Amino acid sequence: MSHIELQSRLPRTYHIKEIKQETEMVRTYTFDGSLGAKPGQFVMVWLPGVDEVPMSVAYDDGAETKITFFNVGDMTAELATCKVGDLVGLRGPFGTCYEWKPGQHIALVAGGYGAAPMYFVAKETVGHGCTLEVIVGARGEEHLLYLEELEALPHVSLHIATNDGSVGYKGFNTDVLQKMLDSCPVGADGCSPIDQVFACGPEMMLKKISEITAAHKIPSQLSLERYMKCGYGLCGNCVVDPLGIRLCTDGPVIKNDVCVKIEEFGKYHRDGVGRKHEFKGS
């Protein structure tokens, strides 16, 4: 906790500079300031008198910060009523970020709002000479996010998967990753053409990616979410069994060799009062 400066632990208000309605339920807000966030980190988004919730940073270029959010409940419904010029409180940035080496060939897998932080990581990694296979998945075409932005980046091969087959591969984005890794097996030198896999999305998608990348002996970094209150290691609400690590400080981006030791990964999570909830399909 002590390594997070007081300045980042306290909320500061930022004006909403731009609003993009991505889909019926999804909006992107651009704020008029940088928090110095790296790809994979999150901020706590505060609406006074309503609530404070964690959101991944969708972009931070040193001048502006973006978040992309789903309108799913009380806080996000209120957030969705904001207009350009309104003030929103942000704390952070918090947590770990994705790590890469210049020139690597990386597969990025995105589900749901995970496309936003995956775009942030894509933009930064191509700037470091990396080449990318980006796999974006959604229920249907109308729910796909960040396609135009990803297509505009150099050195990106974009792959799309939709559950209903309305565009791209019919099925899960994890099927696309599986086929991709099966078709480029580890060479005689013991190296895979894909150096590592980064993913952000629903937990059951991450669980599958953990299994696929472990089977192919390819390192992966996955963004895990738990109910977060303080965001900087104080309250203990985001601790996972049995390791006792706090996902707000040791995560949200976790290397797969640690993920596989988290027994609750892909099985259950705890709500704001510590009650267990099983993941659907676990």
Ligand X SMILES: Cc1cc2nc3c(=O)[nH]c(=O)nc-3n(C[C@H](O)[C@H](O)[C@H](O)COP(=O)(O)OP(=O)(O)OC[C@H]3O[C@@H](n4cnc5c(N)ncnc54)[C@H](O)[C@@H]3O)c2cc1C
The residues binding ligand X (CB under 6 A) are 42, 51, 53-56, 67-70, 72-76, 113, 116, 225-228, 252
Residue closer to ligand X, measured from CB, 111 or 216: 111
Instruction: Look at strands 42-47 and 87-94 and give their pairing.
Output: antiparallel
Find the radius of gyration of the CA atoms of the chain. Answer: 18
Residue 230, binding choice from ligand X, ligand FES, none, Cβ under 5 to 8 Å by partner class: ligand FES
Cβ of residue 54: shortest distance to ligand FES, in angstroms?
8
The CA distance from 73 to 50, in Å, is: 11
Residue closer to ligand X, measured from CB, 70 or 169: 70
Query: Would the CA dihedral through 146, 34, 70, 9 be positive or negative?
Result: positive
Cβ of residue 140: shortest distance to ligand FES, in angstroms?
33
Main-chain dihedrals φ then ψ at residue 56, nearest 5 degrees: -65, 150
Cβ of residue 222: shortest distance to ligand FES, in angstroms?
17
Q: Which residue has the tokens 């979410």?
A: 225
Residue 46, binding choice from ligand FES, ligand X, none, Cβ under 5 to 8 Å by partner class: none
Tokens representing 102 are: 């210049």
Residue 233, binding choice from ligand X, ligand FES, none, Cβ under 5 to 8 Å by partner class: ligand FES
Local structure of 133: helix, strand or coil? strand
Residue 133, binding choice from ligand FES, ligand X, none, Cβ under 5 to 8 Å by partner class: none
DSSP character for 115? H
Cβ of residue 188: shortest distance to ligand X, in angstroms?
40
